[in-house]
Amino acid sequence: MRLKLRMRALFLFAILLSLAGGGPASAQAPAAAPEATAPRWSANEMLAAYERSAQLVESTAILIPNLSRAGEPLLEQAKQAVLNLNANGGQQNALQVHRLNAALRGYLQLLDAMEKPYPLPETTEKQVAELRNLFLQLDAWEMELLRRNVTSLRGSDRDNFARYRDANVRLPAPNAKSPRVIFMGDSITDSWRLEEYFLGYDFVNRGISGQMTGHMLGRFQRDVIALRPAAMLILAGTNDIANGVPSEVIESNFESMFDLADKHRIKVIVATVMPVSDYAKDRGMRFIQTQRRSPSRISALNIWLKQEAARRHYKVVDYYTALADNTGALRKEFSDDGLHPNAAGYRAIAPLAIAAIRDVVKLPAH
């Protein structure tokens, strides 16, 4: 009974230290080690470092008596962070790196506080040393990511105005005989070659890969309103979900864009967020799309989008239903990575898009 109480106390102590980001320094504690320089990792090296850190937590915990059970919550936290970092190439997600590092820090502090056999087996000693060194590198990497994020926020182009600056200048004035329609979105829109699917129409692509609704709101004036379109088709939200943006923030960003469109008499077509799938998971962990893009959150956002569209009398184009299989996942034949449509996927939604647009503006006959 005393052992259980002591283990619980040590575990809670380690968690508190982890959350506080510090604690008493010791000869072995990572906080006392010299500051590491941020490593210059390739994308594959990043993923390997994340995965190796979780492996080392698991292997050292098994080799040290009583540590496996006490460190289990921290191991699960580390594994989940690694899964999130692997999903869809999110190797530089500062929040997930922080969560991984918090788990590693707590585990190392727990390890230092527990009674251990002395000396440790040589294999265990080497693994612990490797884990400490890797943690220092990951900690430095987290600080580098935070520095980059601060620099980005302070920069003049957080929302990527530069992407379409020249194209917007070259774009001719809209023609009343062929109403202009802006396709606003993220990588799914960005990769859609509109000129091939909608030949002869004034359909303008203003998708930017990786963007969330907040970025789109930031460039809405320049990439939508200033181009004087008759209508806008917007597909957004999947990256917000992947980055853990709260639902109320996503909804607020949509509402702000909708209000701006209404004010400037731009007709709005709302696309439902597409489903995702894990059918390509045999190609690697980053193809496990449902880890970052929760199907339940996608469904909840789509319900809200439909309700808000109905309230504002907007047209809805339901990409989700067209692309989902009977399990609610993105059909395998419509995507190569479980997230982005392939050519077959775009062919499946193109008729839906043109039909929705025809319902709100008068397009020239072809």
Tens-digit pLDDT profile for residues 75-114: 888 888 888 787 655 567 777 888 898 889 999 988 888 8
* pLDDT value of residue 295: 96
Domain stops at, among 129, 154, 179: 154
Give how many domains the chain has, as a whole number: 2
224 against 33, higher pLDDT: 224
Question: In degrees, to the nearest 5, what angle opens at C-alpha 50 toward C-alphas 116 and 97?
Answer: 100
Whether 231 and 184 share a structural domain: yes
Whether 25 and 120 share a structural domain: yes
Whether 169 and 134 share a structural domain: no
Whether 200 and 349 share a structural domain: yes
Whether 98 and 244 share a structural domain: no
Res. 283 pLDDT band, cuts 50 70 90: confident
CB atoms within 10 A of CB 70: 21
pLDDT at 158 over 50: yes
pLDDT digits (tens, 9 = 90+) for 290-342: 988 999 999 999 999 999 999 999 999 999 999 999 999 999 999 999 999 99
Rounded to whole angstroms, the Cα distance separating 91 from 82 reads 9
In a domain, 258, yes or no: yes
- As a whole-number percent, the residues of the chain with pLDDT over 70 amount to 87
pLDDT at 4 over 50: no
Whether 289 and 193 share a structural domain: yes
Domain stops at, among 131, 154, 177: 154
Rounded to whole angstroms, the Cα distance separating 271 from 288 reads 24
Tokens matching residue 262: 């209404």
* pLDDT value of residue 35: 52
* pLDDT value of residue 212: 94
In a domain, 201, yes or no: yes
pLDDT at 147 over 90: no
Whether 143 and 234 share a structural domain: no
| Mean pLDDT across the chain | 85
| Residue ranges making up the domain that contains 232 | 162-360
In a domain, 204, yes or no: yes
186 neighbors 243 (Cβ within 8 angstroms): no
In a domain, 342, yes or no: yes
In this prediction the pTM is: 0.64
Identify the burial level of 350 via C-beta atoms within 10 angstroms of its C-beta, where 0-12 means exposed, 13-18 middle and 19 or more buried.
Answer: middle
Whether 111 and 198 share a structural domain: no
pLDDT at 61 over 90: no
H helix intervals, the chain: 2-20, 43-63, 67-70, 72-86, 94-113, 122-154, 162-170, 187-190, 194-197, 213-218, 220-223, 238-242, 247-263, 295-312, 319-323, 343-360
Domain stops at, among 154, 171, 192: 154
Helix (H) or strand (E) holding 26: none
pLDDT digits (tens, 9 = 90+) for 201-250: 999 999 999 899 999 999 999 999 999 999 999 999 999 999 889 999 99
Rounded to whole angstroms, the Cα distance separating 48 from 209 reads 25
Distances (CA, A) of 129 to 10, 29, 81, 119, 157: 21, 11, 22, 14, 42
